[in-house]
Amino acid sequence: MSARWQDAVVGEDLPLLDAIARLDAAALQILIVTDAEGRLAGTLTDGDVRRAILRQLSLDSPVAEAMHRSPTTIPVGASREEAIGRMRERRLRHLPIIDEGGRPVGLDLLDEVAAPTTRPNAVVLMAGGLGTRLRPLTETTPKPLLRVGGRPLLETIVESFADHGFTRFFLSINYRADQVEAYFGDGSQLGVEVDYLREDEALGTAGALSLLPEAPTEPIVVMNGDILTRLDFGQLIDFHSRTHAELTMCVREYEMQVPYGVVEVEGERVTSLVEKPTARHFVNAGIYVLAPSLIANIRRGERLDMTDLAQRVMAGNGRLSAFPIREYWLDIGHLKDYERAQADFARYFIEADR
């Protein structure tokens, strides 16, 4: 049982924004929501938050409107083996412990009661770009080897995946490929296995997958090699499997404020006037999960970007799922982003791990 489970208990009237802050602070990936009498009313996980974001639920709404109302629980006194079996059977990572009156008295976490899960899924990291928008930094150093927080960006990415049980990596390389190979080698220094997809010419984020030495039998994760994120990659894989998607695309909510008052008209008549409105959209976050069947349809040497592949899936009435990222995420595409990454690293990648 987690010693910190009481940090994750909140009332059902707590605003969703505050609940998200508690979810992050408790660092248990779940909140136990109770009613006025202290009985279990539901639970809130990262997945529930993502679904609330997708349906654009206001962050001022009570957590009760976003929580899962019928969570799986286990009675107080149940054995460790029973808890592990129930979580594995239902593919859960958390299990509230409930007394006879329906009140929470503890929380079992799969990561604490069972050995960490090693993921069979391969990870492909796109590390061959020229990095032209980051010049002069990239004139002699490939972008994935630029140092953020005192170490190469790509090393942080690999270690983030390894922390979630991923051990098999393919690095797609082109520009200054020899430097990338010299640094990572076979991956043994990081406790993982690394191979290389060598692009003689740019094939795009999907085309490079045609260079895989063998057809995958499990979904694979593909990620741009210039992204800094605290995303839980295990949850991403589980989401992809649960939705039976051919392709899962991670998305990030992006806000744009119009710097003027927006006027809507019909003919000569003004029908609406909104002062400096904010528009919200989901944008492509550069992280994907692909089903093996989708990779098999990429022709070897074909120039293909992931957005083109997504269009193919939709045109063929395939399932394309969106996985909203609510954790820290930064695309290091420009010098200002690189400077921000340096400032953010200690907060999100050092302090968060203490």
- Given this model, what pLDDT does residue 113 score? 59
Q: What is the mean pLDDT of the chain?
A: 86
In this structure, are 190 and 83 located in the same domain?
A: no
Residues 39, 164 within the same domain:
no
| Residue 294, pLDDT above cutoff 90 | yes
Residue with tokens 């990429």: 298
The domain in which residue 87 lies consists of 5-113
* Res 1: pLDDT: 55
Nearest alpha-carbon partner for 90 in 109, 72, 68, 111: 72
Confidence of residue 354 (pLDDT cuts 50, 70, 90): very low
Q: In terms of domains, do 50 and 153 share one? A: no
Query: 108 and 127 share a domain?
Result: no
Mean pLDDT of 127-151: 81
Which of 81, 113, 145 terminates a domain? The answer is 113
- Are 106 and 157 found together in one domain? no
Residues 219 and 298 in one domain: yes
Q: Which ranges of 223-265 does DSSP label H, i.e. alpha helix?
A: 233-243
What mean pLDDT do residues 95-103 have? Answer: 87
**Residue 66 confidence class, pLDDT cut points 50, 70, 90:** very high
The Cα–Cα gap between 267 and 79 comes to 72
Domain with residue 163: its CATH number is 3.90.550.10
Q: Are 91 and 147 members of one domain?
A: no
DSSP per residue over 170-220, as a string? EEEE-TTHHHHHHHHTTSGGGTSEEEEEE-SS--HHHHGGGG-SS--SS-E
Same domain, 108 and 126: no
φ, ψ of residue 214 to 5 degrees: the values are -150, 155
Count how many domains the chain has.
2
What pLDDT band is residue 220 in, cutting at 50, 70 and 90?
Answer: very high
Say what the pLDDT of residue 124 is. 95
Whether residues 321 and 208 share a domain: the answer is yes
Q: Which of helix, strand or coil describes residue 54?
A: helix
In the chain, the percentage of residues whose pLDDT exceeds 90 is 28
On whether both 199 and 295 belong to a single domain, the answer is yes
Domain endpoint, select from 51, 82, 113: 113
Residues 6+ positions from 269 with CB-CB distance below 8 Å: none
Give residue 25's pLDDT: 84
